A and B are shown apart, each in its own frame.
Chain A
Amino acid sequence: MIQLSNITKSYVHKGQRSYIFRDLSLTLPQGQSVALLGRNGAGKSTLINLIGGIDEPDRGSIERHCSVSWPVGLVGGFQGSLSARENVRFVAMIYCEDEDEIQDKIDFVQDFADIGVYFDRPFKAYSSGMKARVTFGLSMAFDFDVYLIDEITSVGDEAFRVKCREHLMRKRQVSDFIMVDHNLLGLEADCDYALVLVDGQFYRYDDVLEGVEIHKRILVEPGFKELFLAKR
């Protein structure tokens, strides 16, 4: 279970403060996967970053009663001047108990990414597809109770996409997903419920497809958002 209590989060740009969340409280129960829906800039990634502990709220607390992944498949934590092997070793050294386990993780990612000699070349020289292969492989190498899946913009070619989907489905058997909507992997349908984010508040839909419908109407139909909020 992940519990957010009275979270306030704002960003300041050129002296102007804009609030993403004000006194937001949210409980994400164990055993259920959630699709986060909302327009760009609504705060989906901010929420993912807060849950992942990459960012801290201005006020409020976040309790994680389980192990939580870093946002899956993002290049955020990678050092460009180091090779994939070194980057993977770094992360494995943080999460693993001993050298054998570290070596297993490195072997897994090398096998999963399947990028040949590039595995030992500086990460910054990789194509975006190669980067995706490594970062995704790294996320799949570890077992977490909850996986954070932010919008993935690139997962390489079709064959690799299928492989990613397969691995995610396997993880899904034992872990929960907190994911931002995207069509690349087509995973929303596998979630247990949807949270539609409108003006810093979440609205829960147990029927994911209904949530997706509402989300789409808010995006394209003028005046629908106001009507939606008035009804709430």
Chain B
Amino acid sequence: MVALSNGSIDLRQAMSIATRVRVINALTFRELRTRISHNYVGFMGLIIGPLLSILSFSVIFTFLHPLHDDSIDPIIFFTTGIVVFTVFSETSVRAVHAYQANEALFFYRHVRPIDTVVSRALVELGLLCLLTIIILGPYFLIFPNQRIDDLPRLFASVLLTSVFSFGCGVIFMIAGRLYPVIEVFIPMIMRPLWYISGALFSLSHIPQPYRQWLSVNPIIQGVELSRNAFNNHYTLEGTGVSMFYLFTSALVTVVLALWAYTLVEKKLRRSQ
């Protein structure tokens, strides 16, 4: 095991909170520059893709197959479902590739692999919040009688989903770096996850015992909690969904991820 002396100025500098903040700030700047500034088409794609799926699902399910709960407007229903799931899928899939994409930057010793995952998670969260505002801004202008019932609850559920996704992302990154086959595998599980994470259905419409099995998934908890935050009439009764469950899953995942990370950080950075 590598021992580092506590007296080292350099180490203290590398570990300090101020350095972490600066590194994450710099990585976030770089991530945004790479993804947006040089490619306005890419930014439009970022907005138009989810926008089209939200609109098409809203239209299809409103008229053809009302899967969603009547208590909530289909646009709100699908926006929350798609955005919250995308927070998870984008954060965790991008985390898998975070190491490779930023490998050149480990040239600067202060940049640590986990910083790349933190900055990617922040960028995803920021971009998807922006997307939500772009979609729902006009919606609330057109339907002024619609309102968000519980804004703090909405923030809490999206944030906790993001924290949970970050934890998963760190674990995926470690696994992918140690066993490269996992890098291929992770994006593949996103499609089945999409179908079981409640982006397209209400948990209360699913019969038991499937309902309780599906509710184990923290992403569906995040999705359902956000819908409930928009409209308190959207029922969570009997679904097993609770803020406490989402909070606990996020906490356990992050603690587990950080513990695993501290064990293997040196190994991650070591060239083979």
Which residue numbers of A lie inside 8 Å of B, CB to CB? 11-12, 49, 52-61, 63-68, 70-71, 74, 76-79, 81-82, 86, 89-91, 93-96, 122
Contacts and interface: CB of A to CB of B under 8 A. Distances in A.
B8 A65 contact: yes
Given A59-B2, A65-B8, A65-B10, 17 more contacts: A55-B269, A56-B2, A56-B266, A56-B269, A56-B270, A61-B4, A64-B8, A67-B10, A67-B13, A68-B10, A70-B109, A79-B30, A82-B30, A90-B26, A91-B108, A93-B25, A95-B22
Interface string B16-46: 0001001101110110011000100000000
A61 B270 CA distance: 13
Given A56-B2, A82-B33, A94 B8 contact: no
B262 interface: no
A22 to B, nearest CB: 16
B2 A57 contact: yes
Given A70-B109, A93-B25, A94-B23, A79 B104 contact: yes
Given A56-B270, A94-B26, A86 B33 contact: yes
B107 interface: yes
A7 B109 CA distance: 18
Specify the main secondary structure of chain B where it touches its partner. helix
Given A70-B109, A79-B34, A81-B34, A93 B26 contact: yes
Contacts of A55: 269-271
A77 B25 contact: no
B106 interface: yes
B26 to A, nearest CB: 4
B5 A77 contact: no
Contacts of A58: 270
Contacts of B11: 63-64
A-B pairs, 8 with minimum CB distance: A53-B109, A77-B107, A93-B26, A64-B10, A56-B270, A76-B107, A56-B266, A56-B269
A96 B29 CA distance: 15
Interface of B: 2-5, 7-11, 13-14, 19, 22-23, 25-27, 29-30, 33-34, 38, 104-111, 266-267, 269-272
Contacts of A63: 4-5, 8, 11
Given A54-B106, A55-B269, A61 B3 contact: yes
A70 B107 contact: yes
B29 A94 contact: no
A153 B53 CA distance: 52
Contacts of B7: 65
Contact of B108 (A66, A67, A70, A81): A70
A89 B270 contact: no
B271 A66 contact: no
Nearest to B104: A77
Nearest to A55: B271
Contacts of B5: 61, 63
Contacts of B27: 90
B9 A66 contact: yes
Nearest to A68: B10
Contacts of A78: 104
A164 B13 CA distance: 29
A65 B12 CA distance: 10
Nearest to A78: B104
Contacts of B22: 93-96
A59 B29 CA distance: 35
A127 to B, nearest CB: 20
